[in-house]
A and B are shown apart, each in its own frame.
Chain A
Amino acid sequence: MKNAKYILWFFVLVLLQGLVFNRILFWGYLNPYLYVILLLFLPVRIDKALLLITAFCLGICIDAFENSGGLHAAASTFIAFLRPFILRILSNRQGTEFNELKIKDLGLRTMTIYAFLLIFLHHFVLFALEAFKFSEIGTVLLRSLYSSLFTFVLVIFVHLWNVRSK
């Protein structure tokens, strides 16, 4: 039953991203990639291999809409690989074990660090691979930062709404 919820999320996010968020543009820099929210909030104890494969499939679906080869698949798989390490470091720092990835469990500060770090890493890999030129590192960093902030706000908004509605 729980798994069905995540599978539904998967399809909803792919369609939302492909049909709505890919067409949003503010000031030439901001494109939110809300679909990473699925990778952020999959259960803590999910099998790591399954997490990697989910991220890869999610990325490929987004790529099919954007015509971008394996760009999103590469970025998504990258953060899916880093997620367990970042979670372990954060839980060691806080001295508690996380049961569920909710603000109530993690605290606002840890949640902000966790979500923003993963979103930023994802966006940075994405924009860096897309530009693929070292001379454009400044633009890439700027785009990653602005878009990450935008995605982050969206992610927190959706998360709070999701938690509250239960």
Chain B
Amino acid sequence: MQNLIRFFVRFRLLFLFILLEGLALSWMFSSRSFQRSTYLNSSRAVNGVILTRYDALTDYLNLAKQNEQLAKENAALRSLTKDAYLPVYTTPQTSEDTLYKVRYQYISAQVINSSFRKRQNYMTINRGSAHGIAPQMGVIGPKGVVGEVKEVSEHFATVIPLINPTLAISGRLKHTGFFGPVKWEGADYRMATVSDIPRYAQVSHGDSIVTDGRSLIFPAGIPIGTVTEYSIQDDKNFYTLLIELSTDFSSVDHVYVVLDKFKTEILNLQQSP
């Protein structure tokens, strides 16, 4: 017994080291897997507050660029409003909409923390369950797809951006409709790949890749990127496309979270036997 105690006392530093290292590594792995990493998350209160303050400060630095982007978006939206159209028909139109029901709603949010140079990139936005955000909702920006909501606290949410290898979304060629998984390879934050495009599909440089309605995360037709290179896969039957992402992840700031009102209905239908 005394020997045992002496043994522990002698190697106490080694034991302390192993204990601390074990704690750190287990935290690391549990936060990396898709399960909740409830502690140590920047959606947590204290950090969220500090980062919001800091972000409010740094926002001034790229205000000009953001303004320009928002102005462009405003112009695009304004050209869609009723005022932009010249009325051709003089017959009265009723707006009692029984033919169309609202499917998608957009909740605007601001990115308060993000990374783009790591292998596992994350973002934090300043909207949470109090604003109607739930996990697995899509996030889009002014230029295109941004990512998917991962975890939600009351006023903040973390987002897995497209530049995280754990996220796979479905994309399709805008002109021809062929679709395949969009994946980020972990090297360059501006590029991603789309695989499994059939060989007989017509592909050329500059083709647009947009979201596919199948995933229930994004509305169909949101830009993902444009093709810069393409090559035949090892199996000889499919193309892999290298695409340049529409969203610049080094400067993303204002985003919109997509709320699909028919998601549960579609999921229930698909799950029923």
List residues of chain A with CB under 8 Å of any chain B CB.
18-19, 22, 25, 28, 31, 48-49, 52-53, 56, 59-60, 63-71, 73-74, 77-78, 81, 129-131
Contacts and interface: CB of A to CB of B under 8 A. Distances in A.
B129 interface: no
A73 B23 contact: yes
Given A19-B54, A53-B20, A130-B119, A65 B47 contact: yes
A51 to B, nearest CB: 10
Interface string B247-268: 0000000000000000000000
Given A22-B115, A81-B13, A130-B120, 7 more contacts: A52-B17, A53-B16, A59-B24, A64-B47, A70-B26, A73-B20, A81-B17
Interface residues of B, number: 34
Interface of B: 12-13, 16-17, 20-21, 23-32, 37, 40-42, 44, 47, 50, 54, 113, 115, 117-120, 122, 124, 158, 188
A130 B165 CA distance: 13
Main secondary structure on B side of the interface with A? helix
B21 A77 contact: yes
Contacts of A131: 119
Given A64-B47, A69-B40, A52 B20 contact: yes
Given A28-B117, A49-B12, A67 B40 contact: yes
A67 B32 CA distance: 10
Given A19-B54, A49-B16, A130 B118 contact: yes
Nearest to A15: B50
Label chain A's interface by main secondary structure: helix
A99 B144 CA distance: 59
Given A52-B20, A56-B20, A67 B13 contact: no
A68 B31 contact: yes
A4 B37 CA distance: 33
B28 A74 contact: yes
B239 to A, nearest CB: 24
A77 B20 contact: yes
Contacts of A49: 12-13, 16
Nearest to B58: A23
Contacts of A52: 13, 16-17, 20
A77 B41 contact: no
Contact of A69 (B20, B37, B118): B37
B47 A70 contact: no
